[in-house]
Amino acid sequence: MLDGKVAFITGSGAGIGRAEAVLFAERGADVVVHDVNADGADETAALVRAQGRRAHVIVADNADVKRMRAEIAAASATLGPIDILVNNAGISGRYLPLEEIDEATYERMFAVTVKGAFFCAQAVLPGMKARGGGKIINTSSDLAMTGSRVMSHYTASKTAMMGLTRAWAKELAPFRINVNCLVPGVTDTDMPSEEVKTRYAGVAPLGRIATPREIAYACAFLAGPEADFITGQVLSPSGGGAIVGM
């Protein structure tokens, strides 16, 4: 359970992030809800409060480091120091072949996925170290395990998240900060097209795509006390689409 914990979930205005925020609240956590979409963030915050937990909303681009540092400080002042960081924010690769990925598209992908996660982690570390522990969960993709015929910029950014996980797990272990990586497959959110959902369901060993709630269960496990002796690992709730050993 997550009683008394404060969780910060980026990109939690919809989809997987929203499911994680609601489940964490059900399990006793207060939640810092972040998104670039104000309406979505407010809706998630209302769902958190409906569980009897507190919510603080951040509406910002997570790649804006200065703004995010200030917002995280304000959230910590309101709810208390952050115990759990879920780097969930991401953007679609739009199934672009290599020749069609221009510099701006490439840089935006890495800014949101990698840079945003990197500096959000940096911002919450002092509080985690001071309290003697914490949990960081990075979100990758099964494409980082299997590769993709298109979206190489997306695949590369998600692979970087696994690299950060392994490096941070070793660096932060002396401070009792666990760092793990969640690797979902195609999930029933607004990001994949219906064509992609249908195609993935046809080849996934379990014969369907995931619900956001199923991804949230895996995330909550990594955030909870059951995973206190797990760090630097990859957990893939992908219906067998990526078989990674955990």
Give catalytic residues, as residue numbers. Answer: 154
| Three-state secondary-structure class, residue 124 | helix
- H/E stretch holding 30: strand 30-35
Beta strands in the chain (DSSP E): 6-9, 30-35, 55-59, 84-87, 134-139, 177-182, 234-235
Angle at 157 between CA 152 and CA 161, to 5 degrees: 140
What is the Cα 67 distance to its own chain's centre?
Answer: 19
SS3 111: helix
Tokens of residue 167, six digits: 């490096």
Of 99, 75, 236, 216, nearest in space to 161 by CA = 236
SS3 at position 148: coil
According to DSSP, the residues that pair with 185 across neighbouring strands are none
- Tell me the C-alpha distance between 208 and 216, whole Å: 17
Nearest to 131 by CA among 175, 183, 87: 175
On whether the CB atoms of residues 109 and 154 are closer than 8 A, the answer is yes
